[in-house]
Structure 1
Amino acid sequence: MNAEANSAVPASARPAADPRRAVRLDRDGRLLHADARISELHHALGGEDGGVLALPRLLDLARHALRLGMRLSRPVTVFGPDVAIDLWCDCTSDAEGVDLLLSQWREQPLPEAAGAAPLPASVPAAENYVHLRVDPLGRILHVRSPLALPADWQAERVTLKPVGALIATEDGAPLVLADCHNGVRVRLVGDARCWTLHRSRDDAGAGWSLQLAEAPEPPQPEAATAPPPLFDGERLAHMFGSQIGPALRQPIGRIIANAETIGGRLEGPLRADYASYAGDIASAGRHLLALIDDLADLEAIEASGFSAAREPVDLADLGRRAAGLLALKAADRSIRIDRPAEDDSLPAIGEFRRVLQVLLNLLGNAINYAPDGSMIWLRLDDGPDWASVTVADQGPGLSDEEQQRLFNKWERLGRSGDGGSGLGLYISRRLALAMQGDLTVESAPGQGARFTLVLPKL
């Protein structure tokens, strides 16, 4: 297959550019300029004119770009009082501040914005309840209850207050959501009743959903029944992505965030060796999260009826995005990624996030196995009814026998030093096939490897 780029695609065949929103922050994170929608979200979350940006995920990415002094590109999900927004953020820093260019903007209402929802099945049936939504920073965004709540719980007094300032445990200590468990008894400020708390972590880090039911009478003893089995293998085999994975992500995410804060010396001076230890902890945490993601993806793709969305994608744009996400990892080993030119475009049919997932896996593998100071190429090609992107490296290459085993589940090919799961290429090829395409490899010992993702043409 020809690995040279082919960008001669008629303009009429290229997808229309999505609307972009510009944000300008100074070096302290204060908002200098933003479009009307960003300003609206900033003020809705308690931000002030000229104050620090009140969208914490965008603020963290901007500060990271300033610390590194380089351009960063990331997918980000931000949250307003009643909406979740998936977007792509390009950060460019300079001596005066940082510019954020936001694209791929997709809004969807949070559950409260779509109307009242019933209590979860885990909450005891009760006419007296309070439902709260709390953002990732632990601030109350929304309260719903059929009761007449005390004055302290009026909307203007509650919105954006820390949840611990208004809810306490039975012993009077401020509630800490990350450390409590379902069924804990709590009290509301200004209310004499006792409540039972049931909490759930929202997907993609949206915060928390809390249900407070008025504490019921102690349950009457029930007739003894046979205990459930200690190990239900069949049930566990189908609950990793929906229950076990999310439960693991929360504590690991907190470990990573705290380690990065320590390693980055954000709270003050620290000895270099301790900062290095913190960096090792954060790196190990990210490795564990990657393994969790692999296992969740494995469960999803092997489920009956799994399919990928069919939507227009631009392989050139996705190649540039993947290269941007891994630019720092490559720079650590002086590896240069030759990405498609900014004006290149190659339309195809696939699922945006799945194509990006495959390219990140291919580029990540190339960086892991390529020698320091080498080159990695991203090349485009197309035919009458197909389009492809190839990731080529200068690594040790693969024998014919290794190529036959490469896409097998759990296959490591003897490369145990990088701590990988042996699932990345297996998952990537299954995703390519689900998008009615394929993932192939060309290689020889000592001649590097060329992985090619082929998709139907737009």
Structure 2
Amino acid sequence: MTRGAFNALLDADDSVLSADARFADLNDRASGPRGGGLALAAVSALVRIARGLRVPVARTITIGDDEADGDWYVRVVPDGDGAVALAGTLLRERPGATLAPTAIIANEPPADASWSWEIDAGLRVTRLDVVAAARHGIDPVAVLGQPFTTLFVLEVGGDGAMPLLEAMSNVRDFAGQAATVRASRARVSLAARVRCDAAGGFAGFVGGVYTGVAAGIRDGLTAAFNARLRRTLREPLDTIIAQAESISGADQGGLDPHYRDYAIDIASAGRHLLGLVDDLVDMEAIERGDLAVARDAVDLVGVVREGAALVAARAAARGVTIAPFAGDTMAACGDYRRVLQIVVNLLGNAIDYSPAGGVVRVRARYRDAEVRLQISDQGRGIAAHDQARIFEKFARGDDSVPGGSGLGLYIARRLAQAMGGSLTVESESGQGASFTLALPAASAQAPGEQDQQQSEDR
């Protein structure tokens, strides 16, 4: 076995344009004629990967013959015309071993996949699920023969590995390859069974797409898991909450007051868990890219009144007042349920972060073809360096305030954006915070600067 390192340059047809003596010797031992084509199977697999992905690829591979096996670190750098530059360094050498031939694996995609695909040895698309392609905005005919990366943006795992590349290098199946569908930006997970030729060489993959792996959700939550989560937890939680509220509200003279307090705590904890389940499901839908929202005419004034009624008990418990909101109908374009979800979140935050005796104020106005709803509190405010962070996943403005998962504002902003609007904050430390939900006005004739606000000015 030749020791040291090698360098070589191949053209688009894998013909050796130039090579040093070390590479020539290795290639000859693999039955490649000197000055002919590439004969090293493991190197050839890396070359196909690099060409298919159009990025440099480096891996440790085994190059062997009848005398010895060597572990080589090989780097392949493609150019835009299909030529590649090779560089290899020998890491370890050991006696050769007789390897059993690789079995030919069936050409069936992995089970339970949402949709399937096939690629050849050059990572070019040979087949695609037509219905799924259309659902993601992909032309199934146009992508045939195109690089796999035309369909997906592949992601490196937390350990720095990419399962698809590792599987190609070792001619084996893979699973858990995180990716994003280019056309729809949906986050997915890929798995595939390797396809081998008669000699056991790599001939492509038959793969499947699993939806619901959210790109910012690295803990393996999937759409199917979240659906089961909601179904299996909501029913028992609803029962727990209903029973606890029944006990706490019952007029039972013989009931120890402590037990009534326990029931109130149980109901409160159940509602918190139920809200967390809903947040996780919403977050997963957002990250997966298939969150659906309606575009109807929504009366923001009516939404605020309903939202205020929903959080009235919470405000009373904290000694916070929601100032009366006087106004006529103000029509925005959006999804009523989602707008109410945002408003309840903003009102709830304003209540939680307000001091006892504080007042939460609401103001709505038309401006620049939008309806803007502003909810302000008299709390400690939000420092400038935290105003972007509070809209991130699992971020909270003040951890000293109990409750909250850190998902509310993240979800609220993404919901606003999905409806064609925005959610912003203005605040200074010690002077409270004002959150503004802006949505497209439902009527093109909306007054440009007309304000409608609560009767008591701030």
- Calculate the TM-score normalised by the size of structure 1: 0.47
Flag the structure with larger Rg. 2
Higher relative contact order (CA 8 A, sep 6+): 1
